[in-house]
Amino acid sequence: MNPSVEPTTQRKTVVVVGHGMVGHRFVEALRSRDEAGKWQVIVLSEESRAAYDRVGLSAYVGAWDASALALPGNEYAGDDLVELRLGQRGVSIDRAARKVVTSDGAAIAYDALVLATGSYAFVPPVPGHDLPGCFVYRTIDDLDGIRATAEAAGPGAHGVVVGGGLLGLEAANALRLLGMTPHVVEYNDRLMPAQVDAGGGAILERLVTDLGLNVHTGVGTSSIETTAEGLTLTLSDESRIDASLVVFSAGIRPRDEVAREAGLEVGPRGGIITDLGLQTSDENIWAIGECAAVEGVCYGLVAPGYTTAEIVADRLLGGAGEFPGADMSTKLKLLGVDVASFGDAHGVTEGALSVVLHDAAAGTYAKLVVSDDAKTLLGGILVGDATAYSALRPLVGRPLPAEPAALISPAGAELGADSLPDDAQICSCNNVSKGAICGAIGEGACDVPAIKSCTSAGTSCGGCVPMLKKLLEQSGVEMSKALCEHFEQSRAELFQIVQVTGIRTFSGLLAKYGKGSGCDICKPTVASILASTSSDHILDGEQAALQDTNDHFLANLQKNGTYSVVPRMPGGEVTAEQLITIGEVAKEFGLYVKVTGGQRIDLFGARVEQLPLIWKRLVDAGMESGHAYGKSLRTVKSCVGSTWCRYGQQDSVGMAVLLEKRYRGLRSPHKLKLAVSGCARECAEARGKDVGVIATENGWNLYVGGNGGLTPKHAVLLAGELDDETLIKYIDRYLMFYIRTADRLQRTAPWQEALEGGLDYLKAVVCEDSLGIADELEAAMAKHVDGYRDEWAAVLDDEEKLSRFVSFVNAPEQSDPTISFDDSGERKVPVLLGLPEIPVTAGVGSTTATHEK
């Protein structure tokens, strides 16, 4: 690589110093708008990792998977106009020559320079602050160091966080998750002093103390000393805390040293001074994010940082965007406690009045700050219950639709979306107004995922999602829950009806709760519900006529009318004898053989009348149906784990086999895929599965909601470092809760996204039994496990079922003459003989040929 990059006359060069969230947002914004390709972008990243979600840094604890925090598109693959240089820091600026010198000595010429250097964690000059065992809470590397020290100290060791603000409490929670006993030292008289007042702070302190934090407010840290056991902190009141590590989270400071040395104007308290267009005192240099002091003011939240990035992208392309000011509202959940602050939360506006509802028994605190005539909302604080945040925050500066007390009282008025004007900001993270959202709805965005895709609202913190749902309802979008024209109920409601009434036939359910004769939507859906609530064979009695084609023949229909057969190989394990049998079957029946992405073998080209004969050979060899045809568990993929791999930390194969045998045959709203990885190297790709299990030194991390397909989703951490028993218990609950409540053909990722409360709600239900149904869910799964019987073997034992497996009912001995193959090449392929492909509706019910990945 040429260390000196000169701009060309055809294309200008913009150099971005810093590749955090805001720097990445700038590159995305510029490249998405620069259709003519006017700008070549060179990005300098001090860290060895491309941009990641620093706001979600605490999610790294327990998962220890840095890739999960990576921002989408952060490496700009395939974009020739973006060059990302990892591990290269901008160390100086030659403004006269318009060049940036990097930490490896390269001099990069620029036409425009964007400083996105962010901020650093402030460490107060306490004696001993630089001793081993002292950390800041800022990067992935910081957390890796904290983890190593905490694990060396052992469970129950004490850790101290200096600073009780937002990041301080996140750091304390990280220590708690690492098995430590956390202490928080806050100089002010309350936690989160920037966000909450004395009343809110008192409730917050009580709530987090009940969760295991030791809180020390109104005191500072005088010194830190090394002892034989670790560290000792002496506080300003002369008290002492013995600890194994200390984390400083006492605020942040803008990183302006490069700008300062280059002679750019900086603020008296730091930060690179810019105008409203984010231009610095040098017309060729801009500053964005936390390092920028916009007309003297620094903003430490990601939302205003994104706004600055968008403005500079606009300016470089000839626009005239200006910084509109920043909404510093925050809504978060700390250690499971809701905290929200918006507008003038502390009532500094002259004449402001406060309306407070302080319910110590319930552990909630709500305060609204209003104008002196009590008609205009100025701000507010919510602790313990922040459900009203999404409706209240957009009303800041606007007339109140009801009495202030009624808006925060549990028995008071509920704010509707119609109370907000079109210019009210609904999503503060991405600056999306009510008008923009309603416009997207008017153009066809008829659900929350569609609104997210069109407007970006709800894609960052998610706090505005409840309001998105209200806007959908207000806009007249019919949120029908009906399964189809024959059932007004949703799938979840029909599941409950079947479970409570004991109805075991489609005709019985239709007669009592539906209308008409049914269709290709409700028939297989009810068939799946009936299968999920009993261990009856899916081809028993009336159920047989309800099934999709694949389920009806217990095999996957292919394009030429033949079927594929996939025997189960739990965890990818198979014996030599079973492999020999598979080979013999493939040779005898002339089948095409392919290893699937799910660690098993697919046999293609079987005629319908051959299926029982093939199954018989496989069953006799100790194999069974792999359910590749059903909306049910497919595979539990695994690596070789600790039994073979030198990096393995747990027996991933043994766990995968256990899980696959436990959940085999489990019918669900959509197919289910699981995986178990024996270490964080993730060879089984567990984060891409509906349920993913990853081994750690101390147990298993459980991830849920990973899906492939058109909209891939990474699974998210549900619980960490679980023993075998707890892991299986949580998976039982998760799967049965999904089966009961998901919509027809809804995969786990969109199901989780649609849950009111999202992941926090799911954790409460599965891990904390917030709904009181854990025993019921576990019992339902136990019933399935006890009642399981291989579907292939059950057909072989039943003459009536066997009679269905013929090409022609009136000529059972005759094969379908239209089926033909071409095996003249390297692999066998179907020949369609000029006939159209098998349609998606074929034979009984409807289907599409299914494929494993």
Domain boundaries, the chain: 4-120+254-316, 134-250, 329-415, 417-479, 491-549
* Predicted local confidence at residue 849, as pLDDT: 36
Q: With b meaning 16 or more CB within 10 Å and e meaning fewer, what string describes 148-174?
A: ebbeebeeebbbbbbbbbbbbbbbbbb
Tell me, rounded to whole angstroms, the distance of Cα 153 from its chain centroid.
31
- Furthest-apart CA atoms within the chain: distance in Å: 96
Q: Which of 112-121, 534-543, 772-781 has the lowest mean pLDDT?
A: 534-543
* Rounded Cα–Cα distance for residues 39 and 555 (Å): 54
Average pLDDT over residues 341-367: 90
402 pLDDT tier (thresholds 50, 70, 90): confident
DSSP track, 632-680: BEEEEEE--GGGT-TT--S-HHHHHHHHHHHHTT-B-SS-EEEEEESST
- What token pair was written down for 708? 């492939």
Q: Is the pLDDT of residue 212 over 80?
A: yes
* Predicted local confidence at residue 335, as pLDDT: 67
Q: Is 817 exposed, middle or buried (0-12, 13-18, 19+ CB in 10 A)?
A: exposed
* Predicted local confidence at residue 478, as pLDDT: 62
Average pLDDT over residues 508-535: 89
**pLDDT tens, 159-172?**
999 999 888 998 99
DSSP class of 19: -
* Rounded Cα–Cα distance for residues 497 and 502 (Å): 8
819: nearest Cα among 604, 607, 556, 553: 607
1 pLDDT tier (thresholds 50, 70, 90): very low
* Predicted local confidence at residue 634, as pLDDT: 93
Q: What is the mean pLDDT of the chain?
A: 88
* Residue 736 Ramachandran class (φ > 0 left, ψ -120 to 50 alpha, else beta): alpha
* Predicted local confidence at residue 808, as pLDDT: 64
Q: Thinking of the domain 4-120+254-316, which architecture would CATH place it in?
A: 3-Layer(bba) Sandwich (3.50)
Residue pair 31/125 in contact by the 8 Å Cβ criterion? no
* Rounded Cα–Cα distance for residues 732 and 729 (Å): 5
Q: With b meaning 16 or more CB within 10 Å and e meaning fewer, what string describes 305-321?
A: bbbbbbbbbbbbbeeeb
- Percent of the chain at pLDDT > 70 equals 92
* Predicted local confidence at residue 727, as pLDDT: 97
134-250: CATH, from 3.40.50.1000, 3.50.50.60, 3.90.1150.10, 3.30.465.10: 3.50.50.60
* Predicted local confidence at residue 113, as pLDDT: 98
Strands 601-606 and 592-595: antiparallel
Do domains 4-120+254-316 and 134-250 share one topology? The answer is: yes
* Predicted local confidence at residue 832, as pLDDT: 61
* Rounded Cα–Cα distance for residues 662 and 512 (Å): 34
What Å distances lie between residue 712 and 59, 297, 641, 671, 852, CA to CA?
A: 20, 40, 26, 15, 15
Q: Is there a binding annotation on residue 298?
A: no
* Predicted local confidence at residue 450, as pLDDT: 81
740: nearest Cα among 764, 765, 757: 765
What is the separation, in whole angstroms, between the first and last Cα of the chain?
A: 39
Of residues 253 and 210, more confidently modeled? 253
Q: Is the pLDDT of residue 544 over 50?
A: yes
Helix (H, G, I), strand (E, B) or coil at 41: strand
Q: Is the pLDDT of residue 425 over 60?
A: yes
* Predicted local confidence at residue 449, as pLDDT: 74
Q: Confirm or reject CATH 1.10.10.1100 for domain 417-479, answering yes or no.
A: yes
* Rounded Cα–Cα distance for residues 230 and 245 (Å): 7
Q: Is the pLDDT of residue 4 over 60?
A: no
333 pLDDT tier (thresholds 50, 70, 90): low
Strand order in the sheet with 240-243: 221-226, 231-235, 240-243
Residue with the two structure tokens 């964690």 = 121
What is the pTM (predicted TM-score) of this model? 0.59
* Predicted local confidence at residue 410, as pLDDT: 72
* Predicted local confidence at residue 8, as pLDDT: 44
Residue 71, CA atoms < 13 Å, CB-side half-sphere: 24
**pLDDT tens, 58-93?**
878 877 888 888 998 999 998 999 999 999 999 999
Q: Is there a binding annotation on residue 645?
A: yes
Of residues 105 and 850, more confidently modeled? 105
Average pLDDT over residues 653-660: 95
- What token pair was written down for 399? 């007339």
**pLDDT tens, 799-845?**
988 888 887 655 566 777 768 777 777 778 887 644 444 443 333 33
700: nearest Cα among 638, 660, 650: 650
* Rounded Cα–Cα distance for residues 136 and 171 (Å): 9
Residue pair 225/235 in contact by the 8 Å Cβ criterion? no
Q: Which of 176-180, 288-292, 319-323 has the lowest mean pLDDT?
A: 176-180
User: CB neighbours (10 Å) of residue 328?
Assistant: 18
Residue type (1 letter), 312: V
Non-local CB neighbours of 140 within 8 Å, separated by 6+ positions: 49, 52, 57, 60, 66, 69
DSSP class of 559: T
- Percent of the chain at pLDDT > 90 equals 58
* Predicted local confidence at residue 819, as pLDDT: 80
822: nearest Cα among 609, 586, 590: 590
* Predicted local confidence at residue 807, as pLDDT: 72
- What token pair was written down for 413? 């008025």
219 pLDDT tier (thresholds 50, 70, 90): very high
Of residues 218 and 824, more confidently modeled? 218
Q: Which backbone phi and psi does 161 adopt, to 5 degrees?
A: -110, 120
Average pLDDT over residues 649-663: 95
* Rounded Cα–Cα distance for residues 301 and 526 (Å): 49
> What DSSP element (H or E) covers 119?
strand 119-121
* Rounded Cα–Cα distance for residues 136 and 304 (Å): 24
- What token pair was written down for 1? 């690589």
* Predicted local confidence at residue 840, as pLDDT: 39
* Residue 815 Ramachandran class (φ > 0 left, ψ -120 to 50 alpha, else beta): beta
Q: Is the pLDDT of residue 145 over 70?
A: yes
329-415: CATH, from 1.20.120.1200, 3.30.1360.120, 3.30.390.30, 3.30.2130.10: 3.30.390.30
* Predicted local confidence at residue 359, as pLDDT: 85
Q: Is there a binding annotation on residue 454?
A: no
Of residues 414 and 219, more confidently modeled? 219
Q: Is there a binding annotation on residue 446?
A: no
* Predicted local confidence at residue 662, as pLDDT: 96
411 pLDDT tier (thresholds 50, 70, 90): low
Of residues 598 and 185, more confidently modeled? 185
Of residues 842 and 464, more confidently modeled? 464
Strands 231-235 and 240-243: antiparallel
* Rounded Cα–Cα distance for residues 407 and 401 (Å): 9
Average pLDDT over residues 674-681: 92
* Predicted local confidence at residue 2, as pLDDT: 34
Strand order in the sheet with 90-94: 4-5, 107-109, 99-102, 90-94
Helices (H), 562-610: 576-589
Non-local CB neighbours of 297 within 8 Å, separated by 6+ positions: none
Residue pair 549/843 in contact by the 8 Å Cβ criterion? yes
